[in-house]
Every structure is written in structure tokens, then in C-alpha cells.
Amino acid sequence: MGEKELIKIACDFLGGNKIFDKPIFGFCDCEDEYFYKLKDHDIIGDHFKLPKQWLSEGKTVISFFLPFNETIRKSNSVDNQLPSMEWSDGKKNGQKLLNDLSIFLNSYLTEEGYKSIIPSMDKSFYNEQKIKFTSNWSERHVAFACGLGTFGLSKGIITESGMAGRFSSIVTELHIPKKERKYKDVYEYCTNCGVCIHRCPVNAISIEHGKDHNLCANFLDELSEKSNPLYGCGKCQTKVPCEHSIPK
């Protein structure tokens, strides 16, 4: 079993869905030195769990990205203040579909004889328990390690299929050759064009300081309370050069 088979299995599972385009996959050795760097307090912190702390037999980290389709992306480019109904629905139901795909792939690997685990769905996973806006497993940092892309000014990951979408990952006993990281700098794919700055409804992004997570989180909380069933925002991921590709 390798990359091509996993992609085919995922595409077959997602076939006919009205939320995501074709998924992309990245792979990284569980012992990759980058994971150890994530324990630095300037990046995530010591509470970040290494792949082998999730699964001692682990050999490979599989990261995958499901990009939102054009209909959902374009719907969210109209109003600069509120997320579209399509975006809200895509984020909510898209996350459920992503979880279902993660469980399906994890079960498939297990049935093939390879111990596997989905860190973000494990009972020991947590968000913000020790340090705000961090967790003990970061899908974005894992995606970077697995060669899927680099960070942008808005702190999302810019992949070959853009930034607008959802990430998940699996730690598995199966060995899959790592995907080459075609970048060296953490922000290499970001051109600092500043378009996401003007897209943000609450001015939470700046060239000088990047993204203010507090401003962003407060806005999302207020939006959830006042505009139910609207959910999420995604303005910094849509109508920007990195929406569906790596900007030139």
C-alpha cells in the first residue's frame, strides 16, 4: 500500500460529494526532526505530542487536505462581513465528512494490519488546555512537516490546492516514503501581498504582526451568538491569491 492507493481510496470515498474537490496527501517520517522543533515554546510548546507519543509503533504521519470546491469558495467572496450560507454549511458538514474519511482510512489501514491512530479524534487530544490557541497536535504544523505547504500571513497553510479547505492526519505503522518539502522557509509560499488584511472584517491581520488570534476568535464567538446558523468566517481564505493555488 502506498500514496496512490490511499488517494484512490479517499477519492472513491468522497465521490459525488458537493463540498470538496480532490484531496491531496503528504507524508513524513515519524522521527522527522521538525516534530521535535514543535516542542519549542516559541512554536507550540512541550505539550505538543510527538507522533510516536501517539503511536509507539508509528512509522509515517499522513496529512491530507480537502479543498473546498469553487461554488463554496466563490459564495464566500461576496459579503465582506458575514460568511455565506454555503461556506457555513461547508465548514460544518465538511468537517463531518472529513472526520468520516479519517475514520474510514484509519480503519482501512488497521484492517490491512497496520496499527494507526487519528490524533485529533483521540481521547487524549485537547485544544487550549494549557496555552491558548494551541493544542497537543496541530494539523497545520503537521501539514507543513508532511510537505503539503507553508504558512501564510493569516496563519493558514498554503498548499498546491490553495488555503481554503480542511486538514486531517493519521499516524500509522505503515511505512510510506516521505513527501519532499519543496520549501525551506515557514512562509515561503506567502507573497505578503496583503489582500487577506483587507478581507478580514475585524482587522485581525497585519504585515507587521501577522494574525491576532484574540481578535479573530472574539469575532467568531460573537458571530456564532448573533448570526446562528452562520458559522465560521473564512474571509482571509477566499478572494485572495492563495485561495486555490500557490500564488505567483
Q: Is residue 82 part of a domain?
A: yes
Phi then psi dihedrals of residue 30, to 5 deg: -60, -25
Predicted pLDDT of residue 121: 97
pLDDT digits (tens, 9 = 90+) for 150-201: 999 999 999 999 999 999 999 999 999 999 999 999 999 999 999 999 999 9
Task: Give residue 131's pLDDT.
Answer: 56
Q: How many domains are contained in the chain?
A: 1
What pLDDT shows up at residue 224? 84
- The answer to whether residue 26 sits within a structural domain is yes
Query: Is position 137 within any domain?
Result: yes
pLDDT at 133: 66
* Bridge pairing between strands 157-159 and 149-151: antiparallel
Asked if residue 226 is part of any domain, the answer here is yes
Q: Is the residue at 108 inside a domain?
A: yes
pLDDT at residue 81, rounded to an integer = 85
247 occurs within a structural domain? no
Is 243 contained in some domain?
A: no
pTM: 0.94
Task: Report if residue 161 sits inside a domain.
Answer: yes
Q: 140 is in which domain, residue-wise?
A: 3-237
The residue ranges of the chain whose pLDDT is under 70 are: 128-133
